[in-house]
């Protein structure tokens, strides 16, 4: 009800029903929490174009049928071409159905959600919107503060080519997390500890990584089962495996500044930001070829992509990382290419600007 009231107020404000001296040219809603905004605009017949961005289709805001009356929706909205989704009221489907245009946070994810594998039961609706050119992928960006040359959280800032300074960060990171000081590769994982992020794949590869001379640092919170398994892994290999069941922005930056590789074996990833942060800090990402990972990691140049959400496929990426670590010339060349990339919001903002103008032009027409 909180999100329904929020959406209702936002729609009324946009339509000039709250302040008679102001109305919006366009409304940009995000995810299921704001999914009813385009619906209220449509139900009231207000002439305001709307855009809905889906950051993760798996989170849908589905509620019992009795919700329909509580949110003051018309009875006719509870049908397959309205808000009804498997017998429930879906706030996300409302936005997908009624918004003037839809976007997601990467081009690959925009294509993926029109398939049965990634469509979460909404692929039919999304296929129709895409067929009308009403679904666009616009990649997220990252803040310019992600710069290891000026980062105050690092023991020693560094620039591309400053590998001695980066090694100081790696040694400090090992001491900070209680790992042995070694010269093998260091693998980091910073994520919500959930099935989507492939935490089980990291656990399945841990023995192989450690036996080959690598070390692992994991930071995050999430599923209690994963938290327990990670804690047990740390107890079994305290010199090679560290599990920090928390999230700290400063620690995140130090992990990326000291890790050689950043593991992102996500089963799906609408955009992902950590792989961008990692490249800026010289930690080569190892990610599944999906969503934003496929759009932001240049395979074999700034990181490694593997095709399937399986232990064997992920281990293939790990093997490639070890092979690269064995050639310092290639490793440093990839680091320089990764650190030289820009993931600024400027390009994304331009894309949104063009889309806004297109929607406003359509509304005027």
Residues ≥6 apart with Cβ < 8 Å to 230: 193, 199, 203, 218, 243, 245
Please enumerate in sequence order all residues whose Cβ is within 8 A of that of 72, keeping only pairs 6 or more positions apart, or say none. Answer: 8
The candidate with the shortest Cα–Cα distance to 43, out of 15, 74, 14, 20, is: 74
- What is the arithmetic mean of pLDDT over 127-132? 98
Interval 202-237: pLDDT, tens = 999 999 999 999 999 999 999 999 999 999 999 999
Q: What is the pLDDT of residues 139-150, one digit of tens each?
A: 999 998 899 999
Q: What b-and-e string marks burial along 274-296, b requiring 16 or more CB atoms within 10 Å of the CB?
A: bbbbbbbbbbbbbbbbbbbbbbb
Residues of the chain with CATH 3.40.50.2000: 2-141+347-364, 163-339
Does residue 365 register a pLDDT over 70? no
Angstrom distance (rounded) from CA 61 to CA 87: 13
Average pLDDT of the residues of the chain: 97
Could you tell me what percent of the chain has a pLDDT over 70?
99
Paired strand residues for 273: none
- According to CATH, the topology of domain 163-339 is Rossmann fold (3.40.50)
Q: Using CA atoms, how far apart are residues 134 and 309, in angstroms rounded to an integer?
A: 30
Q: How does pLDDT run across 149-192, given as a tens digit for each residue?
A: 999 999 999 999 999 999 999 999 999 999 999 989 999 999 99
Tokens of 109: 């994810």
**Cβ neighbour number for residue 259 with a 10 Å cutoff:** 26
What does the pLDDT read at residue 364?
58
Q: What is the share, in percent, of the chain residues with pLDDT greater than 90?
A: 97
Query: Residue 363 pLDDT more than 80?
Result: no
Distance CA 121, CA 57 (A): 10
Q: How far apart are CA 135 and CA 293, in angstroms?
A: 19
**pLDDT interval class at 21 (50, 70, 90):** very high
CATH class of the structural domain 2-141+347-364: alpha beta
Structure confidence at residue 64 (pLDDT): 97
User: For 253-299, how does the pLDDT look when each residue is reduced to its tens digit (9 = 90+)?
Assistant: 999 999 999 999 999 999 999 999 999 999 999 999 999 999 999 99
Which sign does the torsion angle of CA 296, 302, 306, 307 carry? positive
Q: How confident is the model at residue 75 (pLDDT cuts 50, 70, 90)?
A: confident
pLDDT at 144: 87
Q: In what order do the strands lie in the sheet with 62-63?
A: 62-63, 88-90, 84-85
Residue-wise pLDDT for 323-362, tens only, equals 999 999 999 999 999 999 999 999 999 999 999 999 998 7
CA–CA dist 209, 225 (Å, integer): 22
Burial class of residue 7 (count of CB atoms within 10 Å of its CB; 0-12, 13-18, 19+): buried
Contacts of 188 (CB under 8 A, 6+ apart): 216, 217, 218, 219, 255, 256, 258, 259, 261, 262, 263, 278, 283
CA angle (158, 303, 104) in 5-degree steps? 105
Residues with Cβ within 8 Å of 310's Cβ and at least 6 positions away in sequence, in order, are 201
**Average pLDDT estimate for 93-119:** 98
In this prediction, residues 192-198 reach a mean pLDDT of: 97
């Amino acid at each position: 009800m909180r999100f329904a009231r929020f959406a209702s107020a936002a729609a009324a404000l946009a339509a000039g029903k709250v302040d008679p001296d102001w109305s919006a040219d366009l409304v940009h809603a995000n995810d299921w929490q704001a999914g009813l905004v385009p619906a209220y605009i449509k139900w009231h017949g207000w002439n305001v174009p709307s855009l809905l961005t889906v950051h993760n289709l798996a989170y849908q805001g589905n509620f019992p049928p009795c919700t329909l009356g509580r949110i003051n929706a018309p009875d006719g909205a509870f049908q397959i071409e309205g808000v009804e989704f498997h017998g429930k009221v879906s706030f996300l489907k409302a936005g997908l159905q009624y918004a003037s245009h839809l976007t997601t946070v990467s081009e690959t994810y925009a294509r993926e959600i029109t398939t049965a594998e990634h469509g979460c039961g909404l692929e039919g609706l999304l296929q129709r919107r895409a067929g009308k050119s009403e679904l666009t992928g616009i990649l997220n960006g990252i803040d310019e503060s992600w710069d290891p040359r000026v980062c105050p959280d690092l023991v020693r800032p560094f620039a591309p080519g400053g590998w001695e300074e980066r090694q100081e960060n790696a040694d400090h990171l090992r001491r900070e997390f209680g790992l042995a000081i070694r010269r093998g590769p260091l693998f980091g994982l910073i994520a919500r500890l959930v099935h989507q992020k492939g935490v089980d794949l990291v656990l399945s590869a841990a023995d192989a990584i450690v036996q080959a001379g690598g070390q692992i640092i994991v930071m995050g919170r999430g599923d209690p089962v994963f938290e327990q398994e990670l804690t047990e892994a740390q107890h079994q290999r305290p010199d090679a495996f560290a599990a920090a069941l928390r999230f700290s922005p400063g620690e995140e930056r130090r992990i990326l500044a000291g890790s050689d590789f950043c593991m992102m074996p996500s089963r799906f990833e609408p955009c992902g930001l950590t792989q961008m942060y990692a490249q800026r800090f010289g930690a080569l990402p190892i990610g599944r070829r999906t969503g934003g990972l496929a759009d932001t990691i240049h395979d074999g140049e700034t990181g490694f992509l593997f095709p399937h959400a399986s232990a064997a496929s992920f281990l293939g990426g790990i093997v490639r990382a070890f092979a690269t670590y064995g050639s310092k010339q290639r490793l440093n060349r990839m680091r320089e290419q990764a650190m030289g990339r820009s993931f600024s919001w400027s390009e994304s903002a331009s894309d949104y600007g063009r889309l806004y103008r297109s929607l406003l032009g359509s509304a005027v027409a």
